[in-house]
Chain A
Amino acid sequence: MLDVVDLTVRRGAQVVVRRADLLVKHGERVAVHGPSGCGKTTLLHAIAGLLAVYTGQILLDGVDITATAANRRGIGVVFQDDQLFPHFDVAENVAYSLRVQGVARRERRRHADDWLERVGLGGFAQRTINSLSGGEAKRVALARTLAASPRVVLLDEPLTGLDASLHDRLLIDLRLLFDQLQTTVVLVTHDRDEGAALAHRATEFSALLRE
């Protein structure tokens, strides 16, 4: 269970998120809606540990992780623009979390192949990142995040920029995958239909704020 309590995040002198609360139960998928620039991405980055929290707490399964480094939180992020590593091939991207744990190359490759199959990209292991289409890159980013076995997955506008048919197909695949894995998900998006299709419940970003 993810519990964000009275969270305030600043970027420099500017308060971007002021006193936010968010509770996500195990296996639950919550969509957070809001216009561009309202602080949705900042909230996700703070939960992931990529931004320092000014005040408030973040609890994961009852443990305070507010001051825990991003690499030790067990929270995965699918970034809006994927952020795939251009200098690694697809398999090494997907298995990067195993690489940093020192897992042997052969085992990493097996793991990557497995996840690529699950996201519908079997046979893509040795492809370069530059050769991927937008939809393929998004699937690789998803596989990379899920392959790390995170306790919570944060999705930042996951389907933005994809054409309509690709968007709908990926939406269905994501939903099936999350159902199957019982993944706890926080999804931020400005697209209400996307939120409704993917999440168990949806909330406005402004509704998370105490003031």
Chain B
Amino acid sequence: MSNRSLRAAIPALVWLAIFLLLPVVVLLTAQVEASDVSRVLTRQSTWRIAWFSLWQALASVIATFALALPLTWFIGRHQFRGRGVVRAFASVGFFLPSVVVAAGFIALLPTRLHVSLAAMIAAHAYFNIAVVLRVIAPRLETFDIGLLAAARTLGAGALRTFTSVAWPAMRTAVVSAAGVVFIYCFTSYAVVRTLGGVTRNTIESDIAVRAYAIGDLGGAVVLSLVQVVVIATVVLLGRALARDAATAPRRTTLTLTAAAGVRAIVGAVIIVVTLTLVAAPLIALAMSSFQVGDTWSFAGWRSLVDNGAVAATPESAPADATSAFALVDSLVTSGRTAVLAAIVALVLATGLARTVVRLGTRGRWLDAVSMVPLIVSPVTLGLGLVVTFDSGWYDWRGTWWFVAVVHSVVGLPLAVRVLVPVWRNVAPSLRDAAAVLGATPRQRFIDIDLRLLRPALVAAAGLVAAVSLGEFGAASMLSRSGAETLPVMIARLLGRTGDLVRTQAFVLATVLVVACVSALLLVESGARNHSHPRDNTHA
């Protein structure tokens, strides 16, 4: 492996070493003693929390599949007008901040369900419809239905046909989707904290409680390790199951059928029901932003720009509400954090992805390294950063840009995942063609690689920005009062009493929905425009 190949990846590796590896090492070496391990692992409450984390995640996986599979089947097996729009709309929950979804469920559900297990699991399912849809539907699209008929004509019954033909073909996709959903639900923080209440703690939320409320850093680190072990086990289990599926039928041609007759009616019902369920929390959120208590009012929106509106609202004591300055500050903080995180992650991911692609199969280890931020939960990462960068010239905890740094670490694997497959598809012969026409290596990189990657770069930047806008775990650890990000501010407002305060939370959540959806529409539109290349010159 040449040093030159690795050079482009060095900034990202250094970044991960400083802002991911170092905090984790500091947590392990400086904060944990042997007694912490035995103390935490022998405590009954630890296992109760671990058990709850596990089964609520499993229940969430089941709920997600129940909600998403009908639409996944219909989209995966049928061609119809507006298919792309339905898929995009059904996926919207995944791109929304967890706090926003939690706020949406609070706005939607009756008061007695605001803090409940049902609300928690429903919110988890809402998030993860997109995972099931995006992972399983493409596999269904390319599954050759003729194989089922072939099995039947060879004497296989319905069950045998399913177990010997359909399931082996689908197993990898189903296991992957279930694994991803499990990990998301297992490490969910904002939803648990907002909808689970104080009595329902998962490992993730207990890490935060121990670190911040109790000051038990050693215990928090031990729990983080337990969590990493569980996640790594799930990942390895998923890989093992996927490997077994290597004997599955290969992907074949597109065999989508046009939706017609009874199938069209069934499909229409599935689409209407699923999309209604997806839209309901968002509509409830928007409507609730115009209500203070039971009264329709613009006070929540006015309080964004006018401190007088807070004082003039009779339903709520002014002291309960948050000032316009604080609300606008959180908007600005979130905006600039997202932009900076996207820029940093994009620059680092581009170098890393370039090296991964150049090294080919020898670059697998680097690809795996780039995924490491995914197995360290944001709460653990935030905790590590708090205890690492806590004094002297590197006491960066109070700076606004430090949250962006963390978000760039969290977003890096996603950006790499977007860029690498696209980059692998850029034919090396195009670079050869440019070379024989006189282009230097730098010109080839700019004119060929970067130009062909542009939609992927825009998509990666949008994705990191969306993640940053919604990230809660690390931001809640690092945000300082007066410079809180929107999700942190929303969670804080939802945790307080007072009608106007709650309305303000709904207003900010609605703003965040609009911001995230706009970012994603921009990404989509960037990708579409690129399919019609126009003259582009340096001159």
Residues of A within 8 A of B (CB): 45, 48-50, 69-73, 75-77, 79, 81, 83-89, 91-92, 96-97, 99-102, 104-105, 108, 126, 128-129, 144-145, 148, 150
- Residues from chain A with Cβ under 8 Å of B429 in the complex: 79, 81, 83
B117 at the binding interface (Cβ < 8 Å): no
Cβ proximity bits B388-431 to A, threshold 8 Å, 1 near / 0 not: 00000000000000000000000000000000000000010110
Whole-angstrom CA separation of A143 from B198 in the bound complex: 72
> Given A87-B451, A128-B532, A99 and B433 touching (CB < 8 A)?
no
Binary CB contact string for chain B from 440 to 461 against chain A (1 if under 8 A, 0 otherwise): 1001000110011010000000
Interface residues of B (CB under 8 A from A): 427, 429-430, 432-440, 443, 447-448, 451-452, 454, 530, 532-539
Q: Give chain B residues whose Cβ lies under 8 Å from the Cβ of A104.
A: 539
Task: Tell me which residues across on chain A come within 8 A of B436, comparing CB atoms.
Answer: 48-50, 70-71, 73, 75-77, 145, 148, 150
Q: Is the CB of A71 within 8 A of B537?
A: no
Residues of A within 8 A of B451 (CB): 87
Q: Would you list 22 pairs from A and B whose C-beta atoms are within 8 A, ordered by A residue?
A: A49-B436, A71-B437, A77-B436, A79-B433, A81-B429, A83-B433, A85-B434, A85-B448, A86-B452, A87-B452, A89-B534, A92-B536, A96-B434, A96-B437, A97-B438, A99-B447, A99-B537, A99-B539, A105-B537, A145-B437, A148-B437, A148-B438
Given the known A-B contacts A76-B437, A148-B438, are A89 and B539 also in contact in the complex, defined by CB atoms under 8 Å? no
Task: For B434, give the chain A residue with the smallest CB separation.
Answer: A96
Give the docked Cα–Cα distance between A144 and B433 (Å): 10
Besides A100-B443, A108-B539, 7 more A-B contacts (Cβ < 8 Å) are A50-B432, A70-B435, A92-B537, A100-B437, A104-B539, A108-B537, A148-B437
In the complex, the answer to whether B439 meets A71 with C-beta atoms within 8 Å is: yes
By beta carbon, the residue of chain B nearest A130 is B533
Distance from B158 Cβ to chain A, minimum over Cβ atoms (Å): 45
Q: B534 contacts which chain A residues (CB < 8 A)?
A: 89
* B533/A86 in contact, CB under 8 A: yes
Which A residues touch B438, using CB under 8 A?
Answer: 71-72, 97, 100-101, 148
Q: Which of chain A's residues have a CB closer than 8 A to the CB of B433?
A: 77, 79, 83-85
Contact assessment for A49 and B437 in the assembled complex, using a CB-CB cutoff below 8 Å? no
A100 to B430, CA, bound (A): 15
A103 nearest in chain B by CB position: B539
User: How distant is the Cα of A105 from the Cα of B430 in the complex, in angstroms?
Assistant: 22
Q: How many angstroms between the C-alpha atoms of A85 and B435 in the bound complex?
A: 12
Does the CB pair B427–A83 fall under 8 Å? yes
Whether B536 lies near A88 (C-beta < 8 A) is yes
Bound form: Cα–Cα A83–B439 in Å: 15
The verdict on A91 contacting B535 (CB below 8 Å), with A48-B436, A76-B437, A97-B438 known, is yes
Give the docked Cα–Cα distance between A77 and B429 (Å): 11
Shortest beta-carbon distance from A36 to chain B in Å:
17
From known contacts A50-B432, A83-B432, infer whether A105 and B539 are also in contact, taking CB-CB under 8 Å: yes
Q: Is the CB of B435 within 8 A of A83?
A: no
Q: Which residues on the B side are within 8 Å of A81 (C-beta)? A: 429
Nearest-neighbor residue (CB-CB) of A106 within chain B: B539
Write out the residue numbers on chain A whose beta carbons fall within 8 Å of the beta carbon of B435: 49-50, 69-71
Instruction: Tell me, in angstroms, the Cα distance from A129 to B430 when the chains sit together.
Output: 13
Chain B residues near A88: list those with CB within 8 A.
533, 535-536
A92 to B536, CA, bound (A): 8
Give chain B residues whose Cβ lies under 8 Å from the Cβ of A79.
429, 432-433
User: Chain A's nearest CB lies how many Å from the CB of B163?
Assistant: 43
Q: Chain A residues with Cβ under 8 A from B537's Cβ? A: 92, 99, 105, 108
Bound state CA distance, A89 and B437, in angstroms?
A: 16
Cα–Cα, bound, A122→B406 (Å):
55
| A150–B437 CA distance with the chains assembled, in angstroms | 9
Please indicate the chain A residues that have their CB under 8 angstroms from the CB of B536 in the complex.
Answer: 87-88, 92
* A77 proximity list for chain B (CB < 8 A): 432-433, 436
Closest to B535 in A: A89
Give complex CA distance A145, B451 in Å: 21
Q: Are B439 and A126 within 8 A (Cβ)?
A: no
Q: How far is the CA of A69 from the CA of B534 in the complex (A)?
A: 30
10 closest Cβ pairs, A-B complex:
A105-B539, A83-B433, A70-B435, A97-B437, A87-B533, A100-B439, A77-B436, A100-B438, A50-B432, A87-B451
Chain A residue, CB-CB nearest to B448: A85
Q: Please indicate the chain B residues that have their CB under 8 angstroms from the CB of A100 in the complex.
A: 434, 437-440, 443, 447
CB-based contact A92/B535 at 8 Å: yes
Q: Across the interface, which residues of B come within 8 angstroms of A91, CB to CB? A: 535
- Please give, as numbers and ranges, the residues of chain B lying within 8 Å of A129 by CB-CB distance: 533
Q: How far is the CB of A89 from chain B (nearest CB, A)?
A: 5
Q: In whole Å, how far is B470's beta carbon from the nearest beta carbon of chain A? A: 32
CB distance from A102 to the nearest CB of B (A): 8
Residues of A within 8 A of B447 (CB): 85, 96, 99-100
CB distance from A132 to the nearest CB of B (A): 13
CA distance A126 to B535 in the complex (A): 8
Whole-angstrom distance between the alpha carbons of A73 and B432 in the complex? 13
Q: Give A75's nearest chain B residue, CB to CB.
A: B436
Q: Distance (Å) between the CB of B263 and the closest chain A CB? A: 34
Q: Which residues of A contact B448 (CB under 8 A)?
A: 85
**B437-A83 in contact (CB<8A):** no
Q: What CA separation (Å) do A45 and B433 show in the bound complex?
A: 11
Question: Which single residue of chain B is at the shortest CB-CB distance from A97?
Answer: B437
Closest-CB distance, B536 to chain A (whole angstroms): 7
For residue A93, give the distance in angstroms from its CB to the closest CB of chain B: 9
**Central interface residue in B427, B430, B452, B537, by most chain A CB within 10 Å:** B537
Q: Considering the complex, give the chain B residue whose CB is closest to the CB of A45.
A: B432
Q: How far is the CA of A45 from the CA of B429 in the complex (A)?
A: 11
A73–B532 Cα gap in the complex (Å)?
A: 33
Shortest beta-carbon distance from B176 to chain A in Å: 31
Cβ-closest chain A residue relative to B533: A87
In whole Å, how far is B30's beta carbon from the nearest beta carbon of chain A?
48
C-alpha gap A71/B435 in the complex (Å): 5
Say how far B440's CB is from chain A's closest CB, in angstroms: 6
